[in-house]
Amino acid sequence: MEIQMMFKVPASFMYGQLIRSVQADIKTHTGHEVLPGSLDGFTYQKKWANGMTGKLTITHAIANQRYAYELDTDRDHYQVDYQLRDLGDHKTMLHYTETIEGKTAKGKANNRTAGFLLNWQRKHRFKKMSRQMAAQYFS
């Protein structure tokens, strides 16, 4: 999945919103607070309400430019990348990419089917969440 959006907020604001969310997630799952400068390479275990677990590794945390991670679960390998480009005049371009690779033939087939059926909904939710993050700049 790939999404590109422009926001009328500085890249530093969008990056800060994203990183605060990441820090809250880390604290929830590990009980530890991690400073933004220590995120690059940080790895932790996540557990979801449905019992699924995964190992999340932050692969890039470049202030005001990029946040990316990889997530390994029993079924899938996810790669997620947020790239921010400061356009000046308090405008930011967000380029988001997400790939999901099933670890088995059945998993790959399920991901293709689910991707086809649910991609619109996932994109819609992502765009809504991103707009809500940007709207906080004006509150």
Q: What domains, with CATH codes, occur in the chain? A: 2-138 (3.30.530.20)
What is the C-alpha end-to-end distance of the chain, expressed in Å? 30
pLDDT of 127 higher than 80: yes
Neighbouring residues of 49: CB distance < 8 A, sequence distance ≥ 6: none
pLDDT of 112 higher than 80: no
Q: What whole-number distance in Å separates Cα of residue 34 and Cα of residue 40?
A: 11
pTM for this entry? 0.90
For the segment 3-18, the average pLDDT, to the nearest whole number, is 97
pLDDT of 93 higher than 90: yes
Q: What whole-number distance in Å separates Cα of residue 52 and Cα of residue 75?
A: 10
Q: 82 falls in which pLDDT band (50, 70, 90)? A: very high
- For the beta carbon of residue 11, count every other beta carbon within 10 angstroms: 21
pLDDT of 8 higher than 80: yes
C-alpha angle 43/80/71, rounded to 5°? Answer: 40
For the segment 87-99, the average pLDDT, to the nearest whole number, is 96
Q: 99 falls in which pLDDT band (50, 70, 90)? A: very high
CA distances for 40 relative to 35, 67, 124, angstroms: 10, 9, 29
> What type of residue sits at position 90?
H
pLDDT of residue 121: 84
Q: What whole-number distance in Å separates Cα of residue 21 and Cα of residue 29?
A: 13
pLDDT of 23 higher than 90: yes
Nearest to 126 by CA among 86, 82, 85: 82
CA 82, distance to chain mean position in Å, is 6
DSSP 3-state of 83:
strand
